[in-house]
Amino acid sequence: MTTSTEPQAGQFILDAVAEDLNSGRFQYVRTRLPPEPNGYMHIGHVKAWWIDYNTAKANGGELYLRFDDTNPAKEETEYVEAIKEDTRWLGIHWARETYASDYFGRLYEWAVRLVKKGLAYVDDQSPEEVSAARGTLTEPGKNSPFRDRPVEENLGLLERMKHGEFPEGSRTLRAKIDMAHPNLVMRDPVMYRILRAPHHRTGDTWNIYPMYDWSHGQNDSMEGITHSLCSQEYVIHRPLYEWFLDQLGEFKTRQIEFSRLNVTHTMMSKRKVRILVEKGIVRGWDDPRLTTLRGLRRRGVNPEAILEFVRSVGETKNDSWVDMSVFEAVIRDDLNRRSLRRMGVLRPVKLVIDNYPENQVEEFDAVNNPEDASAGTRKIPFSKVVYIEQDDVRETPPPKYFRLYPGNEVRLRYAYLVKCTGVVKDPATGAVTEVHCTYDPATRSGDAPDGRKVKSTIHWVSARHALEAEVRLYEQLFTVEQPDVGEDVETILNPDSLETLAGCKLEPSLGEAKPGDKFQFERNGYFCADPDGAPGKPVFNRTVTLRDTWAKFEKSGRGNGKP
């Protein structure tokens, strides 16, 4: 990315890491991506992943990909593969792929050490009893009646829990810390619970599984992770992670927190995206209206743009909502530089050039990418009847409208100047069904010999050469800036988030587009071929529109003749 060399916003993590290196606390840097394989990645994850990746890379360190698979009831191999694929697509490379479950055996030994030190105990209370005894935000909790069980008894019970002798939920192993601690996380947190679900990697080996709070920090320590970078919600867990490692006397990772990414008009949580998928509000986890990585990919967003976006919003501890327009601006910038230009008419109306020879066909050279001379040129065919956008014609033009209307002359891009001579309307609806014009043969791909100028250039596709296509236009899924998906999702959905256009007319070369190929349809926006298309029958997704000052002008009310 051209902008990557600019000064970065939010460097406090890099500063902290540099401090640790200078002070000698660590001699190297190692970070980790800690996904739970229970769903697909979204753009919110990318911020965390970029920070982990960049922090390691900037310090000549390495990045581990560690799947947090401590809850077999929710996790599946399918998601492991999907996360790896998405991560590769992003261009993030990991040095090692590990799993929390790789350490189940060693973690159990560490737990036994804590039991032997009298710092953990088996609790026979039911989940309800544990909850009731936890106290509240303002009142201390009560000690479990099993809290002072002798070490030998705890050891025996823990062993029997592991061997599957007790039903789910009947017992837990808890750290013995302080039931009156003002930080609720420290009130004898559960370390192991009994779970009978088969694990996607360890099968039926285990009957007890570690809680995240018991597993995560220990895994970091075992892997020699120097910096555990995570979101703000884990600030209150840090004292617990440090307590475990202090009691164990093991390698101590430094945890640094930052705020998670929120983007307006979209929603990040896996749980809530699942609701949208299950309710059929979107067509799947890869619906182009979603900000999942698969959705963004299908929509036509390049991974480089996603990374540039999360880089550019910086890293702080502030709660924040980044405006979707910032993301769109980054997407446009990326696509503008690399997309091939093509002509595509989305809402076609026929333009008949009355003085053009009936069966004549000409070819014009068109520039593939004005931002990149090496992209070259192509030929586009021209004939007597072409399609133009309905929006490029008005029978009676509003103020400042420079396109086609009776008596006005415009340029057909790369072709001739044409002057509108009249429109044909459907008598029933009053809609313009055909437009007539005459062309000036002396203006072929150049200025008029008499030096006259036109104020507008419009795109077109030759009718007899046109390729028919379906085009899907997307807008924001939600009408509110900060959507919260609950039972009333319907009330905040944008009814126009998807508009499917059939019978769009594209220049013939687009027939060869393969799924994922991206183009700028001139004057319309950026489009990406969808896997639903077939050879000769393409389907395109609109990734993002071009900036459209005319649309803005018209929408503001100043372009429609109103004062």
Which residues are catalytically annotated? 36, 260, 270
Q: Could you give the count of Cα atoms lying within 13 Å of 5 in the half-sphere of its Cβ? A: 1
CA distance linking residue 440 with residue 6, whole number of Å:
49
Nearer to RNA, 287 or 414 (CB): 414
- At residue 223, the 3 state secondary structure works out as coil
CA distance linking residue 347 with residue 67, whole number of Å:
48
Q: Minimum distance from CB of 478 to RNA (Å)?
A: 16
Contact 266, 299 (CB under 8 A): no
Nearer to RNA, 457 or 494 (CB): 457
Nearer to RNA, 200 or 216 (CB): 216
Cα distances (Å, whole numbers) of residue 553 to 169, 205, 496: 63, 66, 21
CA distance linking residue 400 with residue 412, whole number of Å:
19
Q: Minimum distance from CB of 537 to RNA (Å)?
A: 25
Nearer to RNA, 287 or 340 (CB): 340
CA distance linking residue 323 with residue 318, whole number of Å:
15
Q: Minimum distance from CB of 22 to RNA (Å)?
A: 17
- At residue 280, the 3 state secondary structure works out as coil
Q: Minimum distance from CB of 449 to RNA (Å)?
A: 13
Which H or E run contains 437? Answer: strand 432-439
Q: Minimum distance from CB of 55 to RNA (Å)?
A: 14
User: 550 exposed, middle or buried (CB, 10 Å; 0-12, 13-18, 19+)?
Assistant: middle
CB burial readout 285-314, b (16+ within 10 A) else e: bbbbbbbbbbbbbbbbbbbebbbbbbbbbb
Q: Minimum distance from CB of 535 to RNA (Å)?
A: 27
Q: Minimum distance from CB of 326 to RNA (Å)?
A: 4
First to last CA, the chain: 44
Nearer to RNA, 426 or 445 (CB): 445
Contact 472, 499 (CB under 8 A): yes
Contact 290, 273 (CB under 8 A): yes
Please report the DSSP string for 369-388 in residue order.
-TT-GGG-EEEEEE-SEEEE
Cβ within 8 Å of residue 456, ≥6 positions away: 402, 403, 410, 411
Nearer to RNA, 205 or 556 (CB): 556
Contact 141, 131 (CB under 8 A): no
Phi first, then psi, for residue 151 (nearest 5°) are -55, -45
Q: Minimum distance from CB of 486 to RNA (Å)?
A: 14
Q: Which tokens go with 519? A: 């183009």
CA distance linking residue 100 with residue 87, whole number of Å:
18
Nearer to RNA, 328 or 395 (CB): 328
Nearer to RNA, 247 or 456 (CB): 456
Which H or E run contains 439? Answer: strand 432-439
Nearer to RNA, 532 or 546 (CB): 546
Q: Minimum distance from CB of 531 to RNA (Å)?
A: 26
